[in-house]
Chain A
Amino acid sequence: MGKIVAVTGNEACAQALKQINPDVCAAYPITPATDLMQRFSGFVNDGKVDTELVLVESEHSAMSACIGAAAAGGRVATATSSQGLALMWEMLYIAAGSRLPIIMPLVNRALSAPLNIHGDHSDGMGARDTGWIQIYSENAQEAYDNLIQSFRIAEHLDIRTPAMVCMDGFIVSHSIERVEYIDDADVKNFVGKFQAVHPLLDLDNPKSYGPLILTDLYHEYKRAQHEVMTKVPKVALEVAADFEKMTGRKYGLFETYRLEDAEIAIVVMSSAAGTTKDIIDEYRDKGIKAGLLKPRLFRPFPYLEIADALKHVKAIAVLDRADSFGGYGPLFMEISGAVMSMDTKPAMINKIFGLGGRDYLPDQAEQVLDELVKIAKTGKVENVKEYIGVRE
């Protein structure tokens, strides 16, 4: 049995990294992820871990060093946010294309301009197509649990793909919550020994990473990369089953809340799901059949499984904490993709909320649910995409 503590999301993730004890971490500070790696560097300094901590001059260098260390054959982790992730952009593709299972907590934060340090999903959504696995967490406990599970998923011999474990900047990274820590020995045992695949430091078998692959084979490599992603959900569920055996905490590809008999539903990721669940309870008390679906695995996106979970719902609101200017919100586009496979399609609306850390308040959830009640009755959608919580 582990220990129950009161910690922030960053503290919980630093603790997970300490328990996992990666071979190499290369990181550069950026708000709100700074505190995570700062705490971890304290563990390095105090000899609590054997990790080689590489202090670099930028996030581009941080990811480059992680790629080098992972290709050399090490278990590697880093952490970042926002502009830091943006600066890593080209290296993210190289990590994924080279199939290096680097683990990165991403403390979600808005992107400039205007400059803002608070939480939204613009950074993670921008890295959607990099080939990284993306897991989103609602609170500090989920961030801690997901981070531990992500090592097993990413390092699985059928997967070998890097993973981002996301949590909302400040709302989760800097808020103190009740978190149940797992015993060091159990974490160690759960994550297991790192198995290097094609390590550069195996000097008896020299090899090259990053060759030039032109028109003759590039297309095939990308086809293979997609195939690997299709195998992730099965592995993620196996890992989650083992994790449940150890902790009693259950994880799926997504979470549903009072969705089984729901007529209207909100789809939302991360911390906003907590607030939404409270309001759904209130509407249930009023006799309104409302439910929630919270995606956990965003890449790969479990289209068919989500379609199945939503198939009986009449009206759906997808809440995006990121925008695609001139397009629908990124999560809405995914849910639309899932809905494609349904025989009877639900009415769907898209709400952009909480950009740059704007609070998502109960009355916003109420406003959305009221609109869904109306749409479920009439079947009519007036505006597909709207902003909520915006000052007018």
Chain B
Amino acid sequence: MSKKFWETLPQGSVVLEAGSSAKFKTGAWRSMRPKWTEENCIQCMFCWIYCPDMAVKVTAEGKRENFDYDYCKGCGICALECPGKKGKKAIVMEEEGK
């Protein structure tokens, strides 16, 4: 007798594959998109600390890189917190798809 689909689900909804949440591309929810302008960036890492996800990529040497848009939800916290250089923000929010 072949099993019904719901009979094949792991007992108690336990997730048996470690780290599988990486497969869930939460960036798909985004309607606003942060844009990074490197020349205004002072490498303070505020955006990295404040990001509620892990959508600000940093190199092994500790240098800020561009966003990871697979997981960035577009909340805008990084843009709000970014001090930028001489009054010019290094992060601005733009409407997605524009």
Contact = CB atoms under 8 A, between A and B. Distances in A.
Interface of A: 97-100, 160, 197-198, 205-211, 213, 217, 220-221, 223-224, 227
B16 A221 contact: no
Interface in B4-38: 5-7, 9-19
Chain A interface, >50% SS class:
loop
| List of 4 A-B pairs having minimum Cβ-Cβ separation, nearest first | A99-B12, A220-B6, A206-B18, A208-B15
Interface of B: 5-7, 9-19
B11 A99 contact: yes
B13 A97 contact: yes
Given A206-B18, A207-B18, A227 B13 contact: no
A14 B77 CA distance: 54
Nearest to B11: A99
Contacts of A206: 18-19
A100 B15 contact: no
Given A97-B12, A98-B14, 15 more contacts: A97-B13, A98-B13, A100-B12, A198-B11, A206-B18, A207-B15, A207-B17, A208-B18, A209-B15, A210-B13, A220-B6, A221-B9, A224-B7, A224-B9, A227-B7
A98 B15 contact: no
24 contacts: A97-B12, A98-B13, A99-B11, A160-B12, A197-B11, A198-B10, A198-B12, A198-B14, A198-B16, A205-B18, A206-B18, A206-B19, A207-B14, A207-B15, A208-B15, A209-B14, A209-B15, A211-B13, A220-B6, A221-B6, A221-B9, A223-B6, A224-B6, A224-B7
A208 B15 CA distance: 5
Contacts of B19: 206
A79 B17 CA distance: 34
A220 B15 CA distance: 15
Contacts of B7: 224, 227
Contacts of B16: 198, 205, 207
B5 A220 contact: yes
A308 to B, nearest CB: 27
Nearest to A220: B6
B6 to A, nearest CB: 4
A46 B17 CA distance: 42
Nearest to B5: A220
B9 A211 contact: no
Contact of A98 (B5, B6, B12): B12
